[in-house]
Amino acid sequence: MPPDPTSVPLDQTKAAAEALEERISSHTVGIVARDKGNPEQGIGTGTLVLVAGRIYVLTAAHVVSDTPVEELRFFPKTEGALRRDSYLNRASAGVTPSRRFPASRLHVYGEADLAAIELHPDQFREVYAVPFEFLDESTTPPEDRTVVYCGYPGSAGGIVGPGSKAACACFDWNQVEPPAKLPDSDPARFFLVGYGCKELHPGGFSGAAVWWQNNPQGIWRPNIRLGGIIQTYYPRLNLFECLRVEVVKEFMSAMGA
């Protein structure tokens, strides 16, 4: 579906959408982890957040649960604007180098498929990643609301050498779907979002944040809110089940953040 940052004049929609994508990319990191025990073969997505003065990477627990925290590698935002890929018809961060940020602790929430990787704050002086500071003000987007998410689908980068794959971040604009589309899902904890990147396998979007634009009165600006974390893909329905941000805040509160 075309970008629609809501309540933006049509002649400014493209520019507004690109501004939102630039902002979201600064909070998003790819996560390189183990896949079936094989080091640096799996990829997922995480979101940098700043809570009570501490920096965390929020992601789905299944992305990192089999990987020692010291093995994790990250793809943070690089210098410059996002590349606009015509063949994908969407924004991409391009091929970026991975970094190893020393992590002090991995927190896993026993009540949901959710994890928080605690990082040392001085690791971000030489990169262009910025932690999101407004988790407390974030809420789950309402049904039919336009949302956007940025992830690292493994099929986007391609092979660059023997046994070596590139990683690229890609965006998808979609909307919140009615909970009735997945009757077994608990709407008190989850919401549903469509998946539109049909040319890309959804593997790698696990752990990505779902964002939506909160439009205050006055001059428009990228005023994003974190709505939830992508958990599970349902191919028959072409839907992501996403953990509500209210559950994420419960987790952060429970671990004292």
Domain count for the chain: 1
Amino acid letter, residue 145: R
pLDDT for res 156: 67
Beta-carbon contacts of 218 under 8 Å, excluding residues fewer than 6 positions away, are: none
Please report which confidence band the pLDDT of residue 7 belongs to, taking 50, 70 and 90 as the band edges.
Answer: very low
Using DSSP's 3-state secondary structure scheme, residue 220 falls into coil
Q: What is the mean pLDDT of the chain?
A: 82
Distance from C-alpha of 147 to C-alpha of 133, rounded to nearest angstrom: 19
User: In this structure, is residue 2 part of a structural domain?
Assistant: no
pLDDT for res 164: 56
Beta-bridge partners for 33: 42
pLDDT > 90: percent of the chain: 44
Give which of 151, 194, 190, 201 is closest to 174, Cα–Cα: 194
Distance from C-alpha of 21 to C-alpha of 4, rounded to nearest angstrom: 12
pLDDT for res 4: 52
Please report which confidence band the pLDDT of residue 160 belongs to, taking 50, 70 and 90 as the band edges.
Answer: low
User: In this structure, is residue 4 part of a structural domain?
Assistant: no
User: In this structure, is residue 221 part of a structural domain?
Assistant: yes
pLDDT > 70: percent of the chain: 76
74-124: pLDDT as tens digits: 887 776 677 666 444 455 554 555 666 667 789 999 889 999 999 876 665
pTM of the model: 0.87
10-58: pLDDT as tens digits: 345 788 888 899 899 999 999 988 877 777 778 899 999 999 888 999 9
- Which domain does 33 fall in, by range? 10-254
What is the CATH number for 167? 2.40.10.10
Give which of 142, 153, 248, 146 is closest to 191, Cα–Cα: 142
Highest mean pLDDT among 1-5, 110-114, 190-194: 190-194
User: In this structure, is residue 1 part of a structural domain?
Assistant: no
User: In this structure, is residue 131 part of a structural domain?
Assistant: yes
User: In this structure, is residue 3 part of a structural domain?
Assistant: no
Which has more confidence, 159 or 18? 18
pLDDT for res 88: 45
Please report which confidence band the pLDDT of residue 174 belongs to, taking 50, 70 and 90 as the band edges.
Answer: very high
User: In this structure, is residue 5 part of a structural domain?
Assistant: no
